[in-house]
Chain A
Amino acid sequence: QQKVQQSPESLIVPEGGMASLNCTSSDRNVDYFWWYRQHSGKSPKMLMSIFSNGEKEEGRFTVHLNKASLHTSLHIRDSQPSDSALYLCAASYTNAYKVIFGKGTHLHVLP
C-alpha cells in the first residue's frame, strides 16, 4: 500500500518569512507529485505539480523533487496571511493509476 508522508503536521511562520513543507512517498513507482492548497472551509485547489528531478518556480512558490529519495518539498517565500491553509501533497503511481494524498501540513502565517 502506497503511503505519502507529510511533515511537519503544523507550521507557523511570520508574515514575510519562508515556509518549507516536506513530502515523501513510500513507493518507488511514483510518477508525479502534486501540491494542493485548501483554505479553511473550501475545496482543494492545485498549486503545482512536478515529475522531473530539480526545481520548479511559480511566483513565490518553489517545488523541489529528488526522485532518488522520493522526496518533494514546497517552499513559500515572503509568506502572506492569505497563505494560511492546509497543504496537501499527492503522489501518482504508474503501476496503480491512482493518486494517494498525504494528511497535509497546516500552515499558519502570523501578521
Chain B
Amino acid sequence: EAAVTQSPRSKVAVTGGKVTLSCHQTNNHDYMYWYRQDTGHGLRLIHYSYVADSTEKGDIPDGYKASRPSQENFSLILELASLSQTAVYFCASSDARQGYAEQFFGPGTRLTVL
C-alpha cells in the first residue's frame, strides 16, 4: 500500500519562529501536495510539486514556502510562523496530476503557534 510519512506529528512553535514540516513518500509518485485543514474549511492546497527541484503555488501559498529536493521528499517551511497558521497539515502524493488519480495522505502534523 502507498506510504506517506510526515514529521513531526505534532509541533508547538512561537510566533515569528521558523517551522519546517517534512514529508516522505515511498510510492514512487511524481506529484506531492501540502494541504492545511481547519475546522469548517475542509482541505486547502498550499503548495504542490510534480518534479524534484520544482514547486508550484496552490490556493493559499502566502506565508509558506515549499522545497522538493528529491522525488521522495517534500517540505513545507513557515519562515515567520503566525497564530493564523495553527492548523493540521497534510502531505499527499499521487501518480498523476491532481484530480486524475487518487491522492494518498500522510498522517498529518498538528501545528500550534503560540
Contact = CB atoms under 8 A, between A and B. Distances in A.
Q: Is the interface of A mostly helix, strand, loop or mixed?
A: strand
Interface string A88-100: 1011110001110
Interface string B41-81: 11111000000000000110000000000000000000000
Q: Interface centre among B42, B44, B106, by most A CB within 10 Å?
A: B42
B42 A98 contact: no
A34 to B, nearest CB: 8
A32 B102 CA distance: 11
Contact residues on B (Cβ < 8 Å of other chain), bracket: 10 to 19
A88 B102 contact: no
Interface of A: 31-32, 34, 42-46, 49, 88, 90-93, 97-99, 101-104
Interface of B: 40-45, 58-59, 90, 97-100, 102-103, 105-108
20 contacts: A31-B99, A31-B100, A42-B108, A43-B106, A43-B107, A44-B105, A45-B105, A92-B100, A97-B97, A98-B45, A98-B58, A98-B98, A99-B45, A99-B98, A99-B99, A101-B42, A102-B42, A103-B40, A103-B41, A103-B42
Given A44-B90, A46-B102, A98-B58, 11 more contacts: A31-B100, A42-B107, A44-B105, A88-B42, A91-B99, A92-B99, A97-B97, A98-B45, A99-B45, A102-B42, A103-B41
